[in-house]
Structure 1
């Protein structure tokens, strides 16, 4: 099977799963699937960084996360975020007090920071999804990021001449970035204007921030992959690489813009 066919089949499957996950699951199922997505991404991250603490790390992350889901009314959201972070920081300092290397510590910092970002992304999805207009807001945000990614690819192919960040992602161009920013901003803003009756200025500002931050997330994951010497974050999604390759742009953009939307509304 050609690489293009793999990409198309996987993309259709992912769209179907995303629609079911966002619109047709109960609150409890949505929570479980969202945290499951985060944990799968952490497993992929551990394999990419070659740290060899997989089951223990995922276990100490999963237990407080599931505990929070079942007791969300009484357990602060920071509990499942900070528990594995603090625990593994202590474990690392104790176990590597005599044999630490700069590269190993750098990989540990990558793991901790990406894990926190993944969990923050998951908990933001859970919190916003339960709001009266949360599903529509998230749908507009996802569409905006995806539209920006697609438009950046085709604009870059057709017009790209100036490299955006050649040391991190040689394939991205300034022209592609501008095209993606335009189409992604318009897509998210129009969706929110039509579906949420959001004020035009608010919709445009939130959509612009969404797209710009999504590009930063994409470049950040590219920098991480370059630092550890891998092409893709994993191979869970045929033709698309790994889970992190598909959600890297969403990780910082969704939490930031969703929290700003909640403050403004």
Structure 2
């Protein structure tokens, strides 16, 4: 079987993700109420916030191609999503690292599955481990790392293949407040310039307001613009305060 070489530069644009009149749910379970119509623009960071049971994770898994919609159309770049794809990466709250593989080998795993040549895998994993500040831990096993470090490995693994869309399911939810803030800043820093489209699910309203260009509320179907995305100094800005109040009232 032929091998594939990764491009030398990240993609110029992220994927367009769309849902049109989509009913979410499991075929053998109860459908979530209402339908979802949503368009996520190329390179946008859309946060999704709401209480447990409102469909946040179901939405993410539907976009990932892991869960077919009960009705309606789910598409990437106007092509129906019929299953998982290499250019859509999924990041979970649990780091899902393979405990018997080193940090480097975990980051290289999706590249190995795609039969990327060994030298290119090594170069890419080294680059991403350096970007997340874990180059000196490449030889360690996941159990030798802290929770925050394991999440950084998961992030490096997700981005090593240069996906056009990154789907994140409460990736920082289990971290303490200090580590969580650091991971938010790291995410913003390493996504800068990749062009990737990001859908980020969270329970935390302040996290949604800090990271998102827009916030989607599955409970009401609203999509709200964030006045000062990724600006910590805007936390007490009147526009941010009003949006926080509006989101909290919807929960």
TM superposition score normalised by structure 2: 0.26
Structure number, greater radius of gyration: 1
| Structure with larger RCO (C-alpha < 8 A, sep 6+) | 2
Whichever structure has more strand as a proportion of its residues is 2
Whichever structure has more helix as a proportion of its residues is 1
